[in-house]
Structure 1
Amino acid sequence: MWNYAQLWTGIAKADPKRPAQIFGDLTYSWGEFHQRSNALAVDMTKAGLSHQSKVALYLYNCPEYLEGTFGAWLGGYVPVNTNYRYGPEEILYLFDNSDAEAVIFHAVFTDLIEQVRNRLPLVKRWYMVADESGNALPSWAVDYTSVVSQVHDDLVPSTPLSGDDMLFLYTGGTTGMPKGVMWRQEDLLSVLGRGGNAVLQVAPGESVEELIARITPGDKGTIALIACPLMHGTGQFSAFITLAMGGCVLTMPNRNFDPAKLWETVEKDSVNSIVIVGQAFAGPLLESLDANPGKWNLSSVVQMGSSGVMWSQENKEGLLEHIPQMFITDSFGSSEAVGMGGSVAAKGVPAKTAQFALGPNCVVFTEEGTRVIPGSGERGLVAVGGAIPMGYYKDEVKSAQTFRIFEGLRWTVPGDWAEVNADGTLHLLGRGSVCINTGGEKVFPEEVEECVKTHVSVRDAVAVGIPDKRFGETICAVVEAEPGHEPDLGTLSDHVKSRLAAYKAPRNVVVVSTIGRAPNGKVDYKRLKKHAMDTLGVSE
């Protein structure tokens, strides 16, 4: 049986003193990681949570995030990621849709929670994690630190832990409103390598017991700096991979990305692996190194990895000039489909942008369900088989659209179009939908459009993605103005931010005489995107 709670508990018992998490000047050992998580599980059980109750993690990167995950799993509960950039209505939707019964939140979100708390009757316990905001503990919450400081005997859940215990990973905009991807722990451990790491030459384990037996007391283990948010799949899954090997996850206290601070941390803590999300991180990291050649000792770094967004060949080559001993891993996947493809770059052996080797369980199918022949130039939908999610929580319609049957087998088909090159590699073309991927955040255009159209100056609007070297894409609002009005970027951006997450606000506005909708109300996104790019002087 593959179960994270059992694996991590076994590692903690095998070597309780080895570091599990680093956060600024704080270091938590594996023993402390287990003790604090177990105390949380005990308290949630006392609060009335039952088998597979949902636990929402509304936190910035911090040790409490992974403690909340571990604690949920120890109790037989389901961790639920929460996008901390969401506005009140989005948070309400997510907590309600996930049936959250416990919420662990940073103090800075207290005021926002106050706006929606009374509409969430299922929540039995609110845990506040103190932060630099200085917000006082509200009467309806309990102090997280007081709870996890307690020492309890190991919790024995009323329902035994199993590989069927779940994790919910809520997606961004590609599915419309966020949907909870339901991962069984056994399947998740399988797709994340079962305690192995090819770059670090660590083989997958045959069982939880074998992985625990690999732990040598006194060893430090791999140190992975997770620079991207733990609330997203790339950060979260990378942390799970590290911890499954008995390693240590390092997160940084600063809320805004600071490349120089990251390199200082790599040197100070002898980091082995760095996890980012594409060009939005990699661009500033390279600029920092170029501006300060040789300033930091980066000899400990053996791997830098990213997943889910574009990462240019030129940037990879530049980073390898500064850190020639490391491997760069670039994975193509999503919340629903892990292991679709990947590339590895090393000094002198760069990987081309958007070119990936197909994963072992990955196939490209035509819409008719036949396999795309390598080198044919035919386009198809990328599909992943094997260990895949159970579906989307409480959404049978969308589940049926994404989790499909080809060749008599069940596949995840998230909507990515690709060609298969003659050598068998994957040439990614993009989503069939008009989803905008900005800095790793997936934004559904219709949500932005509907918000923009509520402004008094706007008659009609369309949101399109404009190519951007740092963020991959940025949002441009193509706007048809109401007579007598002149919509401007600042006003419309503030309007969107007042209702939606800030990253969904447009960074450019292009005013047109008419959106030019067809009689059925549909929009020619391709035409409007080209017009916006031409107006802004942007090329592909």
Structure 2
Amino acid sequence: MTVFNHADLFEGIADVIPDRLALVCGEEHLTYAELDRRANRLAHALLAQGVRAGQHVGMQLYNGIEYATALLATFKIRAVPINVNYRYVEAELTYLYGNSEIVALFYDTEFDDRVAAVAPDFPGLRLLVAVGGQTTVPEAHEYEVLVSGQPETRGFEPRSEDDHYIIYTGGTTGMPKGVVWGVKDMLFSFANPTYPPPETPQGWIDHAASSGLLTMMSVAPLMHGAAQMNTWIAWWMGATMVYVRKFDADTIWRTIGREKVNSLTVTGDAMAIPLADALEGGDYDLSSLYAFVSTGAILTGTVRDRIASLLPNVMILDRFGSTESGSTAQAMPGSSPEKGLRFASDVPDVAVLDESLRPVEPGSGVLGQLARTGFIARAYYNDPDKTAKTFPVVDGRRWLLTGDIATVEKDGTIAVFGRGSQAINTGGEKVYPEEIEAVLKGHPAVFDAVVTGIADERFGSRVAAVVQLREGGATSEELDAHCRRELSGYKVPRTYAFVPEMRRSPAGKADYRWAKEVAEQA
């Protein structure tokens, strides 16, 4: 019997639309049936190597067919995929391999040295699988050799709606956290908000089969939860998902033209800005594109307007949510970090809770934490203290506290001011970095900016900006004057640190630990 489980649903969809194109990366094109057969072979190979239900399988890979195949294969045997940031150095990998308790690891051969240095410290990590050819890591299996001779048929044990999905997220202020989901909760929390989710597993399969042909592209790395969720959403719509192996703006635009992509998903300014730069200087066929979506990071108004001017016939959409909450809201027209973020929730179980964990009265102006109940994550893996603080139970209802500081306006829309953990308290005034970053990026000489707080003898903390300039540049005095035209004086950065290149995650998230260190040195 088919249940609400990622592997069950994919297999059902592959059975009813076997010849529809499911996945594209570079020159490789796989139908639903072809991808299902590849995943079956890999799943049988994992079982043959002793990987069992509930065990954790790491994926230290660039985007590609093998990443998607490994995700599917892992779910087919009821194991749990673990995303590994491919930028991690040895110390960070040591933490993640240990915290996640992986028993198997898929890795690109480009990471041979790091894997060879760290993996031997974990005797529980019994299976290493190299993707991309020959590997220098002792006792590792080459991917193609591992799956050779394995059957393309299924024959796996029945699955459960309670199987787990873990996504490691964060790392901007500390080591990443493993967000634990039940697969049914995740399916409904990250469901496409443009239509009500079907009430039965067969309903999801029927919807995919009856959907029109659609081609979607996610340019974020699959080691980021947003790209994985975009992939599942595409498949639940019977659509084709398109990847590029690594982010390159020119390659992305040319791929859109070649594969006739309809919907493009990015994560905020860090991806949108280089895409806009390439678009201004290139000649591309974008006649098929009708949606440009940002999720996982909000577009600043300046960047959003620039994209809109370059793509006048394309819808520009901002989605709001998190790894723990799923997709929860859509940005209101005119909303932006510099003008004020306002969202309309897509789901009925979103609220703003005050300090007593009671819902804020609409229009009261009371600030609280944005929260969600219903289909939410279950825990942080191996972190009961963080789990208890983030997922409190109030009057018998389990809530997720997102950490976003917000209030509810009279019309029911939610005004979000920023992430509470990043708020800067300067002389008793709270400053939210997102607003300042957006204003700085509105200056024509600024390519990127990250704002953080550093110690100040008089005010406790001062606002500091780490800035990457475009060619031609600008002085701190010019940026100060620009900010003072847009911001109250206490919000204006008092320290500027100019860097040749901003450090962000592959998904575009700011590295606030690094930014703080750079600002303190300045």
TM-score bracket relative to the smaller structure: 0.7 to 0.9
- Alpha-carbon contact 2:42-2:150 (below 8 Å) kept: no
Tell me the secondary structure at the aligned position of residue 130 of structure 2: strand
Worse-matched range after superposition: 303-312 or 104-113: 303-312
2:165: which partner in 1? 167
Q: How many percent of aligned residue pairs carry the same amino acid? A: 31
SS of structure 2 residue aligned to 1:91: helix
1:336 aligns with 324
The one-letter code of the counterpart of 2:292 is: M
Q: In structure 2, which of residues 243, 248, 260 is the aligned counterpart of residue 251 of structure 1?
A: 243
Please give the alpha-carbon distance, in whole angstroms, between the structure 2 residues aligned to 1:175 and 1:405.
Answer: 26
Matching residue of 1:404: 392
Distance 1:28 1:103, change over 3 A: same
State the Cα deviation string for residues 454-508 of structure 1 (Å, max 9, x = none).
Answer: xxxxxxxx9987366999xxxxxxxxxxxxxxxx999xx99xxxxxx99964598
Once the two structures are superposed, what CA deviation does each residue of 1:301-322 show, in whole Å capped at 9, x if it has no partner?
2222222323122322332333
Letter in 1 for 2:113: D
Aligned partners of 1:89, 1:264: CA distance in 2, in Å?
37
Cα 1:427–1:325 change in 2 (3 A) is same
1:300 maps to 2:294: no
Counterpart of 2:490? none
Query: Where does 1:67-106 land on structure 2 (aligned, <5 Å)?
Result: 67-106=69-108
Distance 1:465 1:337 in 2: 30
CA RMSD of aligned residues (A): 3.4
Which of the numbers 53, 56, 67 marks the counterpart of 1:54? 56
Alignment of 1:264-275 (within 5 A): 264-275=254-265
Q: Could you tell me which residue of structure 2 aligns to residue 117 of structure 1? A: 119
Report deviation, 1:344. Answer: 6.0
Match of 1:21 among 20, 23, 27: 23
Structure 1 residue 296 displacement after superposition: 2.2
**Structural mapping, 1:99-498, within 5 Å:** 99-130=101-132, 136-148=135-147, 150-158=149-157, 160-173=158-171, 176-193=174-191, 196=192, 198=194, 202-216=195-209, 221-253=213-245, 255=246, 257-292=247-282, 295-343=283-331, 350-353=334-337, 354-360=341-347, 361-434=349-422, 466=465
Counterparts of 1:251 and 1:186, CA distance in 2: 26
Instruction: State whether residues 76 and 157 of structure 1, in contact with CA within 8 Å, keep that contact through their aligned partners in structure 2.
Output: no
Contact 2:219/2:227 (CA < 8 Å) preserved in 1? Answer: yes
Q: 1:128, CA displacement in angstroms?
A: 0.5
CA distance in 2 between partners of 1:48 and 1:470 (Å)? 52
State how far apart, in whole Å, the 1-side matches of 2:115 and 2:32 are: 32
Residue type at the aligned position of 1:392? Y
CA deviation map 1:504-523 (0-9, x unaligned): 645984567xxxxxxxxxxx
Code of the residue aligned with 1:166 in structure 2: it is H
Q: 1:509 to 1:180 in 2, by over 3 A?
A: closer
Contact in 1 for aligned 2:217/2:243 (Cα 8 Å): yes
Letter in 2 for 1:356: F
Is the Cα–Cα contact under 8 Å of residues 106 and 129 in structure 1 kept in the other structure? yes
**1:406 CA displacement:** 2.8
The change in CA–CA distance for 1:312 and 1:161 in structure 2 (over 3 A counts) is same
Cα distance between partner residues in 1 of 2:464 and 2:329:
24
Work out whether residues 174 and 513 of structure 2, in 8 Å CA contact, stay in contact via their aligned partners in 1: no
SS at match of 2:124: coil
The residue matched to 1:56 in structure 2 has which SS?
A: strand
> Matched residues in 1 for 2:80 and 2:166: separation?
7
Counterpart-to-counterpart distance in 2, 1:318 and 1:4: 37
Query: 1:119/1:502 Cα in 2 relative to 1: closer, same or farther (>3 Å)?
Result: farther
Contact 2:57 / 2:104 at 8 angstroms: preserved in 1? yes
Report if the CA contact (8 A) 2:213-2:238 is conserved: yes
Per-residue displacement from partner, 1:315-339 (whole Å, max 9, x unpaired)? 2233233333332221222211223
Contact 2:466 2:515 survives alignment (8 Å): no
Q: TM-score, normalised by structure 2?
A: 0.79
Q: CA 1:125–1:510 in structure 2 vs 1: closer, same or farther (change >3 Å)?
A: closer
Secondary structure of 1:156's partner?
coil
Matches of 1:174 and 1:384, distance apart in 2: 23
Which sections of structure 1, spanning at least 5 residues, go unmatched? 450-461, 472-487, 495-500, 513-531, 533-540
- Residue 316 of structure 1 aligns to a residue whose secondary structure is helix
- Give the number of equivalent residue pairs: 456
Structure 1 contact 105–127 (Cα < 8 Å) conserved: yes
1:519 alignment counterpart: none
One-letter code aligned to 1:245: M
Measure the CA separation in 2 of the matches of 1:177 and 1:391.
16
Distance 1:56 1:119 in 2: 15
- Matches of 2:520 and 2:186, distance apart in 1: 46
- Verify the 8 A CA contact 1:381 1:417 in the aligned structure 2: yes
In the alignment, the residues of structure 2 paired with residue 287 and residue 78 of structure 1 have an alpha-carbon distance, to the nearest angstrom, of 39
| Cα displacement (A) at 1:427 | 1.8
* CA spacing shift, 1:503–1:470, aligned 2, 3 Å: farther
Residues 317 and 331, structure 2, Cα contact 8 Å, conserved in 1: yes
Assess if the C-alpha contact under 8 Å between 2:116 and 2:138 holds in 1.
no
Cα distance in 1 for partners of 2:66, 2:193 equals 25
CA offset digits 1:5-26 (Å, max 9, x no partner): 0111112122222211111111
Instruction: Report the more deviating stretch, 60-69 or 320-329.
Output: 320-329
CA positional deviation for 1:177: 2.5
Aligned partner of 1:528 in structure 2 is none
Deviation at 1:73, TM superposition (A): 0.2
Given residue 267 of structure 2, which amino acid in structure 1 is its aligned partner? V
| Aligned residue among 24, 34, 43 for 2:45 | 43
User: Secondary structure of the equivalent of 2:326?
Assistant: coil
What is the distance in 1 between the residues matched to 2:353 and 2:361?
A: 9
SS at match of 1:95: helix
Q: Deviations over 1:414-441 (max 9, x none)?
A: 21111222322222111221388999xx
Counterpart residue identity of residue 271, structure 2 = F
1:326-369 deviation line (CA, Å, top 9, x unaligned): 32221222211223432266xxxx54442211342210011112
CA separation of 1:509/1:6 partners in 2, compared to 1, >3 Å: closer, same or farther? closer
What secondary structure does 1:167 align onto? strand
5+ residue gaps, structure 2, are 424-432, 439-449, 456-460, 471-496, 504-509
